[in-house]
């Protein structure tokens, strides 16, 4: 074997003698191909991962907006005789209610020519004319219209308005649009008070109530929990306890707020039995057993035994 021959020949001869050396020759190519596959894999890691785990898509049709919580209250009793007397403040209040709720149909001038009127049959009432009124433009007539609506027309009942708001609208409409509005007689107002359970002031009858009770409102999903159980009394109790907790800066209330996600549900659960009233262990079991379902959250697991004592004593004092 000569050293000055051509390199290829030497190499071939060399390989024939030591076949293992072929590995050294192809090694760089294996390395390059291997690295290439590796880079490709890394670049596509996201796709590969996504294909294995199906993404969960939230079905937006299952997200139901719920009504907000409104606490119960009682509106003060004001007599129909007082409310039927025109006052500047009431007329002003009526005006702003009218602009927000009525102008679209009745028009800013009360002529029944609002933007929505064209499409309606029958047409919205023209307040500036005495023609065609059904309940009439007396205070009692307008109050009835707002409370009951007019059947077979676009005039619906505005049942969320308070009595004061209905009187305010009646006063505004009469003062601003109706020419020589007819006055309500004492009988008209007495009948109105009886029909809609309003106060007659000093002359109240057995049919009338002292004030307008506003029962409050709770989200539908929570109401369903209450309805299944014994309704009104429990509901009142839960609302009362909720109010007490809301106004309490103490540590018991602090713990409650921390470990409760759904207050109505949690309090409804606690009000469902008095077994826990004299037994802290029952109290703890009751809460922990149905965690999540019962309005409480996982943070109850972080409560120390002295936290539990505080919390237990506090809830005992409320129920």
Task: Rule CB under 6 A: say whether 139 interacts with ligand HEC.
Answer: no
* 198 closest CA partner among 215, 184, 211, 217: 211
Burial class (CB in 10 A: 0-12, 13-18, 19+), 94: buried
Task: Rule CB under 6 A: say whether 142 interacts with ligand HEC.
Answer: yes
**d(C-alpha 164, C-alpha 259), whole Å:** 41
Contacts of 192 (CB under 8 A, 6+ apart): 80, 139, 140, 143, 144, 184, 198
Q: Nearest distance from residue 134's CB to ligand HEC, in Å? A: 4
Q: Which is nearer to ligand HEC, 137 or 295 (CB)?
A: 137
Among 15, 69, 150, 303, binds ligand HEC (CB under 6 A): 150
Q: Nearest distance from residue 136's CB to ligand HEC, in Å? A: 5
Q: Nearest distance from residue 97's CB to ligand HEC, in Å? A: 6
Distance of alpha carbon 199 from the chain centroid: 32
Binding characters for ligand HEC, 203-242, by CB under 6 A (x = yes): ----------------------------------------
Q: Which is nearer to ligand HEC, 94 or 252 (CB)?
A: 94
Q: Which is nearer to ligand HEC, 103 or 291 (CB)?
A: 103
Among 83, 90, 102, 178, binds ligand HEC (CB under 6 A): 102
Distance of alpha carbon 35 from the chain centroid: 57
Both structure tokens of 63? 């997200």
**d(C-alpha 181, C-alpha 259), whole Å:** 60
Block residue for tokens 């059904």: 134
Q: Nearest distance from residue 117's CB to ligand HEC, in Å? A: 7
Total binding residues for ligand HEC by CB under 6 A?
A: 24
Q: Are 68 and 143 in contact (CB under 8 A)?
A: no
* Interface positions with ligand HEC (CB under 6 A): 101-102, 104-106, 116, 120, 122, 124-125, 133-136, 141-142, 145-146, 150, 153-155, 158, 169
């Amino acid at each position: 074997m000569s050293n000055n021959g051509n390199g290829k020949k030497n190499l071939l001869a060399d390989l024939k003698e030591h076949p293992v050396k072929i590995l050294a020759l192809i090694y760089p190519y294996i390395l390059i191909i291997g690295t290439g596959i590796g880079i490709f894999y890394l670049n596509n890691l996201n796709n590969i991962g996504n294909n294995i785990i199906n993404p969960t898509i939230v079905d937006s049709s299952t997200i139901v907006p719920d009504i907000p919580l409104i606490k119960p209250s009682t509106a003060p009793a004001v007599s129909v005789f007082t409310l039927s007397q025109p006052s500047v403040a009431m007329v002003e209040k009526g005006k702003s209610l009218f602009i927000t709720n009525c102008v679209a149909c009745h028009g800013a001038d009360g002529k029944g020519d609002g933007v929505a009127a064209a499409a309606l049959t029958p047409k919205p009432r023209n307040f500036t004319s005495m023609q065609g009124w059904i309940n009439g433009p007396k205070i009692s007539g307008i109050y009835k219209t707002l409370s009951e609506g007019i059947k077979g027309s676009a005039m619906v009942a505005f049942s969320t308005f308070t009595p004061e708001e209905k009187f305010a609208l009646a006063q505004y409409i009469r003062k601003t649009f109706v020419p020589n509005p007819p006055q309500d007689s004492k009988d008209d107002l007495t009948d109105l008070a009886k029909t809609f359970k309003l106060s007659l002031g000093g002359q109240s009858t057995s049919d009338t109530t002292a004030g307008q009770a506003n029962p409050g409102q709770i989200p539908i999903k929570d109401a369903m929990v209450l309805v299944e159980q014994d309704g009104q009394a429990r509901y009142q109790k839960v609302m009362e306890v909720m109010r007490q907790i809301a106004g309490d800066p103490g540590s018991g209330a602090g713990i409650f707020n921390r470990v409760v996600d759904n207050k109505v549900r949690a309090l409804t659960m606690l009000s469902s039995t008095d077994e826990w009233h004299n037994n802290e262990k029952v109290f703890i079991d009751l809460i922990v057993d149905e965690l999540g379902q019962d309005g409480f959250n996982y943070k109850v697991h972080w409560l120390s035994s002295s936290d539990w004592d505080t919390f237990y004593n506090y809830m005992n004092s409320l129920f």
